[in-house]
């Protein structure tokens, strides 16, 4: 069997076959083996503060309602009427006691139970006594520190086990405020005309930082001359299970608790107060790590938490091998002062947003890779070897991408082997 990923530790060579970005059959395998079996981020519990709150979500290609019932329980319900299949929830978000399918007016409580249908006399008394006509609930929905994930597989390992070593890094984000973190309104929904796996790579790739985002750094350097002295230094780590992280010293201000000369001197006091609270809670060393270090976290397969000059939470799904849909959220401390919240959001849109000075260039880079894959017949392999010659890979190396590819290859190779046995 041909392998899509080759790792030669002795030669320090790691390559990925470029067909993985263009092949329709591989995409089919990914839907079956990855998006239908891995834990996928659906949302943050802060999105549903009150009974009856709901958000419509598309996760792993499924249409879901993320909802808090009158019983206070958060559920993920399949947004499809058990009668004929129409969506029962058409609004993107809101608060409701019931979801009502407009087609034949079947009505469901916000926990999914069928409570009304016209023409009841046409159905036996025992209709739905087994609950099979309620809205179907996603079997597995679990939360880790407020981040909620679903899993569509019949049997799944627990979310905690799945996240494994990545939990340490999610903690560093979740611990930023004792009041908790919240997802802000209005997620940014955009797309890239490229294969979805290229975002997994790009999001933990510090190597591209300078060449791709030079214009952003030039603009920052004018606001903050100190920024040019900072070298992007840190570690790249394979967290196992396909998860990965880069952690490096922040060259820019972080509203959580890292002051920069680009901000007013008076703001220093507020930052110091936040930092001191972190020190009280976690001690000097961990407080410094939370406040002054960036981390780009990749949770396999398609969740990125970028804790940089603001915190973004991003998911992305393939539509075709060469086209993906991205959803980007902003995460922030609940108790943040208005001044720092505005500064954080300003940082976000300037770098992370699709109207900013950086993300559009990432988008372009990924699209140019995809264009390059037109040459796949003669130019077949991507090189992802940087840093294999080092004991501890740097954040600007590619160990963190190899982590993703090892897991991806493991899943897809096993699926292919099963199919070959069947033949």
Partner 1 sequence: MTVTHQEIVDFLYHEAELLDEWKLEEWAALFTDDGKYLIPPIGNPDADPAQSIFYIDDNRARLEERAKRLLKKEAHVEYPHSTTLRNIHNVRVKNREGNSISVRCNFSAYRTKREVLDCFVGVLDYKLLVTDNKIVIQEKKATLKLDSLRPHGKISLIL
Query: Interface residues with partner 1 (CB under 8 A)?
Result: 92, 184-186, 188-193, 212, 214-215, 219, 222, 323, 325-326, 330, 338, 341-342, 345-346, 348-350, 353-355, 357, 359-361, 363-365, 367, 371
The residue (of 83 and 193) whose beta carbon lies closer to partner 1 is 193
Let me know: does 194 contact 226? Beta carbons within 8 Å.
Answer: no
- Residue 167 C-beta: closest distance to partner 1, Å: 27
Comparing C-alpha atoms, which of 177, 121, 216, 123 is closest to residue 334?
177
Token output for 237 = 């780590």
The residue (of 164 and 356) whose beta carbon lies closer to partner 1 is 356
- Residue 360 C-beta: closest distance to partner 1, Å: 4
Strand ranges in 121-162 using DSSP code E only, listed in sequence order: 140-144, 147-151
- Residue 312 C-beta: closest distance to partner 1, Å: 9
The residue (of 283 and 372) whose beta carbon lies closer to partner 1 is 372
The residue (of 255 and 393) whose beta carbon lies closer to partner 1 is 255
- Residue 115 C-beta: closest distance to partner 1, Å: 31
- Residue 191 C-beta: closest distance to partner 1, Å: 4
Q: What is the DSSP string of 12-81?
A: TEEEEEGGGGT-HHHHHHIIIIITTTS-EEEEEGGG--STTEEEEEEETTEEEEEEE-TTS-EEEEESS-
The DSSP bridge pattern shows strands 40-44 and 107-109 to be unpaired
Phi, psi of 294 (to 5 degrees): -90, 150
Q: How far apart are CA 318 and CA 302, in angstroms?
A: 10
- Residue 223 C-beta: closest distance to partner 1, Å: 9
Token output for 159 = 């979310």
Q: How far apart are CA 351 and CA 221, in angstroms?
A: 14
The residue (of 222 and 229) whose beta carbon lies closer to partner 1 is 222
The residue (of 27 and 330) whose beta carbon lies closer to partner 1 is 330
The residue (of 169 and 348) whose beta carbon lies closer to partner 1 is 348
- Residue 28 C-beta: closest distance to partner 1, Å: 22
Q: How far apart are CA 198 and CA 202, in angstroms?
A: 6
Let me know: does 383 contact 14? Beta carbons within 8 Å.
Answer: yes
DSSP class of residue 128 equals T
Which residues 6+ apart lie within 8 Å of 277 measured at CB?
A: 178
The residue (of 160 and 346) whose beta carbon lies closer to partner 1 is 346
Token output for 213 = 């985002």
Q: How far apart are CA 410 and CA 213, in angstroms?
A: 33
- Residue 2 C-beta: closest distance to partner 1, Å: 31
- Residue 66 C-beta: closest distance to partner 1, Å: 18
Comparing C-alpha atoms, which of 289, 244, 330 is closest to residue 44?
330
The residue (of 163 and 181) whose beta carbon lies closer to partner 1 is 181
- Residue 216 C-beta: closest distance to partner 1, Å: 8
Q: How far apart are CA 229 and CA 263, in angstroms?
A: 17
Q: How far apart are CA 205 and CA 203, in angstroms?
A: 6
Token output for 121 = 């006399």
Q: How far apart are CA 80 and CA 83, in angstroms?
A: 9
Token output for 11 = 């030669």
The residue (of 136 and 345) whose beta carbon lies closer to partner 1 is 345
- Residue 255 C-beta: closest distance to partner 1, Å: 12
The residue (of 163 and 326) whose beta carbon lies closer to partner 1 is 326
Token output for 120 = 């009841």
């Amino acid at each position: 069997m041909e392998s899509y990923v080759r790792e030669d530790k002795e030669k320090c060579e790691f390559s990925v076959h470029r067909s993985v970005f263009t092949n329709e059959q591989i995409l089919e395998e990914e839907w079956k083996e990855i998006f239908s079996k891995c834990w996928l981020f659906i949302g943050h519990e802060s999105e549903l503060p009150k009974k009856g709150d709901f958000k419509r979500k598309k996760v792993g290609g499924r249409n879901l309602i993320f909802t808090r019932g009158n019983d206070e329980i958060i559920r993920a319900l399949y947004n499809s009427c058990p009668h004929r299949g129409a969506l029962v929830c058409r609004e993107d978000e809101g608060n409701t006691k019931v979801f009502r399918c407009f087609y034949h007016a079947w009505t469901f409580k916000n926990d999914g139970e069928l409570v009304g249908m016209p023409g009841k006399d046409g159905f036996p008394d025992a209709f739905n006594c087994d609950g099979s006509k309620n809205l179907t609930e996603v079997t597995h929905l679990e939360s880790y520190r407020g981040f909620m994930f679903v899993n569509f597989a019949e049997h799944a390992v627990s979310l905690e086990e799945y996240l494994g070593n990545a939990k340490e890094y999610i903690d560093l984000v979740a611990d930023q405020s004792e009041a908790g973190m919240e997802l802000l309104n209005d997620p940014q929904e955009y797309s890239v005309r490229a294969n979805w796996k290229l975002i997994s790579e790009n999001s933990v790739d510090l190597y591209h930082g300078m060449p791709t985002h030079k214009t952003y750094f030039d603009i920052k350097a004018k606001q903050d001359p100190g920024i040019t002295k900072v070298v992007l230094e840190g570690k790249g780590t394979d967290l196992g299970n396909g998860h990965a992280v880069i952690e490096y010293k922040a060259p820019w201000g972080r509203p959580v608790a890292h002051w920069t000369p680009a901000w007013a001197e008076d703001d220093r006091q507020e930052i110091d107060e936040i930092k001191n609270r972190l020190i009280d809670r976690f001690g000097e060393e961990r407080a410094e790590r939370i406040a002054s270090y960036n981390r780009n976290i990749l949770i396999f397969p398609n969740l990125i938490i970028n804790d940089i000059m603001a915190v973004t939470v991003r998911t992305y799904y393939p539509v075709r091998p060469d086209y993906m849909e991205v959803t980007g959220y902003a995460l922030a401390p609940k108790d943040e002062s208005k001044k720092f919240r505005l500064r954080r959001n300003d940082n976000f849109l300037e770098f992370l947003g699709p109207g900013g000075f950086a993300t559009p260039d990432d988008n372009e880079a990924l699209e140019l890779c995809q264009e390059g894959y037109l040459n796949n017949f003669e130019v077949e392999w991507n090189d992802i070897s940087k840093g294999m010659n080092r004991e501890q890979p740097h954040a600007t190396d590619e160990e963190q991408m190899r982590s993703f590819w090892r897991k991806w290859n493991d899943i897809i190779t096993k699926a292919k082997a099963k199919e070959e046995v069947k033949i």
